[in-house]
A and B are shown apart, each in its own frame.
Chain A
Amino acid sequence: MHEFSVVNNLIKILEKVCKENNAKKVLKINLKINPYSCLDEENLNFVFSSFTKDIPVYKEAKIEIKRTLAPSEREYIVENIEIEV
């Protein structure tokens, strides 16, 4: 259930990026996590779309998870965000 905390914090980062870049749409969020992290891509996308269903800018957004040895076992790093401006 920690997907809620991940999505909640992710939205804070997205809001800042969208504002700074005048984004029309968020298309993709590339997330880098440790191979041992208990986070599932499908589940995370489900939680994300439930959280953001009434916000048009996030309508097409998809989160893609890349499992790699992050600097710390607990870190979920947002590598980059693809937006339409």
Chain B
Amino acid sequence: MLKVIKIEESVFEENEKIAEEIRNILKERKILSFNIMGGPGSGKTLFIEKTVEILKDEFKFGVIEGDIEGTEDGERIKKFNIPVVQINTGGACHLDANMVKKGIFNLPLDKIDIIFVENVGNLVCPAEFDVGTEKNIVISSITEGNGKIEKYPLMFKVSDLCILNKIDLLPYIEFDFEKFEKDLKKIAPETFLIKLSSKTGKNFNEWIEYLRKLRMEKKF
């Protein structure tokens, strides 16, 4: 006999529960947190390094570094003498809430104002997993070409902020800013855009102001 069993349950229910738990833990401690996503080589680590360098006397930072293998990115952040937890996914193409939870509990939460979670470099899978941070950021660089928003729409849709990086390379690369902005408005109209260069610092202040404002608004 055939039977249809109604389920209406999310496949990621367990992940969502843990993500909510992380958000509550961080909210209780007044910690602002960001999930930094983007393709390999888009400039995620340098973006974090620059931010920490500029704001290290203003805020106390903690970083969770997610990579499939290796500790290079974690070592780069450690130079700033801030707590870093390196997570190696051992093959998995994304971080999930459970991995981040373990990372969070390895950070000295009483001594932290802002946490950056650097996700595995990938424009597909990380977009599907809520890792429990307050905000999602996607870093895209002009060297990746113009079509990224159309090709990876979910990544841009789930992000609160899109950083378009490496604008200092514009003299050497063909990039249509107007098309990028139009695509973002069409596919992810609520995602805020900042164009900058982490390398030269051009427009980096726009991000710094965004971060300061967010912290003030949220009364963290």
Contact = CB atoms under 8 A, between A and B. Distances in A.
Interface of A: 1-2, 4-6, 9-10, 13, 17, 21, 23, 27, 31, 34, 36-39, 73-85
Contacts of A78: 7-11
A77 B14 CA distance: 13
A34 B10 CA distance: 12
A23 to B, nearest CB: 8
Nearest to A33: B11
B100 interface: no
B120 to A, nearest CB: 10
A35 B95 CA distance: 22
Contact of A9 (B14, B127, B130, B154): B14
Nearest to B154: A36
A74 B8 CA distance: 15
Interface residues of B, number: 31
A36 B12 CA distance: 16
Given A1-B92, A36-B154, A6 B11 contact: yes
A36 B128 CA distance: 10
A2 B125 contact: yes
Contacts of B218: none
A72 to B, nearest CB: 8
A85 B8 CA distance: 20
B1 interface: yes
A54 B124 CA distance: 30
Contacts of A77: 8-11
